[in-house]
Amino acid sequence: MIRYEIKGNGRAVILLHGWGQNMEMMRPIQDHLAKRYRVLNLDLPGFFGSDAPASVWGSLEYAAWLHEFAEANQLQEPILIAHSFGARIAFQYALHYPTACMILTGAAGIRKRRTLRYYGKVAFYKIRKKLHLPISKSGSEDYRQAQGMMRKIMVKVVNETITPDLFKIKTPTLLVWGEQDEQTPLWMGKMMEKQMPHATLVVFHHDDHFAYYHQMPRFLRVIDAYLEGGFL
């Protein structure tokens, strides 16, 4: 079962939430755009009201599923608006299926730069595990909260990278970033803007990974300006 809503009429828009979130985070965007577009808002498979995949999916499998779901609901060549993990899916969708444009905020997809401290922690963890010594909680909060199939999916997804394929993504793309984003740091947005042929970066100063949600009225104005800018 997939929990979803389609509102409005016009050109297709698909909203893709981040990891551990649900369609409620994207509802203000749906309500705003439904006056002019046909907007799909959903809980992605494995999140909240939607059943988890039966196998270990990566972002490519999510994109393939989304394309079939969109086609079944007459949503061709959609505008994709995505946050964080949802952007991983959007990248793969744009690489493999017709896509009008993308608006991505706090987009995940580039691996973080590993520090010596990180590698030291990994080595320490492996040694204690090998010696059967007690191990303190490790991993992100998202990882600790994920269960069963979704934990396996998260491991697969976070080890993917879109970096080698960024130059192949010809879809017009607006990147919206929080200046103080620690989950997907601003340097990632700058790299995407530099390597994607038709990408533009907008920075929300003094805000974090959820800048789009904290500053929703501003984010909606940015969306309107971009979609009405004649790029389609």
For the stretch 47-64, pLDDT in tens is: 999 999 999 999 999 999
**Which pLDDT tens digit goes with each residue over 160-175?**
999 999 999 999 999 9
The amino acid occupying position 143 is: Y
pLDDT of 104: 98
Give φ, ψ of 58 to 5 degrees: -110, -175
- Please state the length of the chain: 232
The whole-angstrom separation of Cα 164 and Cα 143 is 26
Residue with tokens 């993308």: 102
Confidence label for 136 from pLDDT (cuts 50, 70 and 90): very low
Q: Which residue has the higher pLDDT, 216 or 130?
A: 216
Query: Distance (Å, rounded) from C-alpha 62 to C-alpha 203?
Result: 28
Residue 114 pLDDT: 52
> Burial code of 194-215, b = ≥16 C-beta within 10 A, e = fewer?
ebbeebebbebeebbbbbbbeb
Q: How many CB atoms lie within 10 A of CB 99?
A: 22
- Rounded distance, CA 43 to CA 206, Å? 29
Mean pLDDT of 198-218: 98
Q: What is the mean pLDDT of the chain?
A: 90
**What is the distance between the alpha carbons of residues 115 and 6, in angstroms, rounded to a whole number?**
44
User: For residue 27, how far is the Cα from the chain centroid?
Assistant: 16
Determine the Cα–Cα distance for residues 55 and 67; give it in Å rounded to an integer. 18
The CATH architecture annotation of domain 4-113+150-227 reads 3-Layer(aba) Sandwich (3.40)
pLDDT greater than 80 at residue 128:
no
Please say if the pLDDT value at position 116 is more than 80.
no
- Domains of the chain, by residue range, sit at 4-113+150-227
Q: Which of 10-24, 38-52, 77-91, 137-151 has the lowest mean pLDDT?
A: 137-151
Pairing of β 38-42 and β 79-83: unpaired
Minimal CA–CA distance to 70: which of 51, 49, 44? 44
Summarize the confidence of residues 113-139 as an average pLDDT: 49
Please state the rounded mean pLDDT for residues 186-202. 98
User: Is the confidence at residue 232, as pLDDT, over 60?
Assistant: no
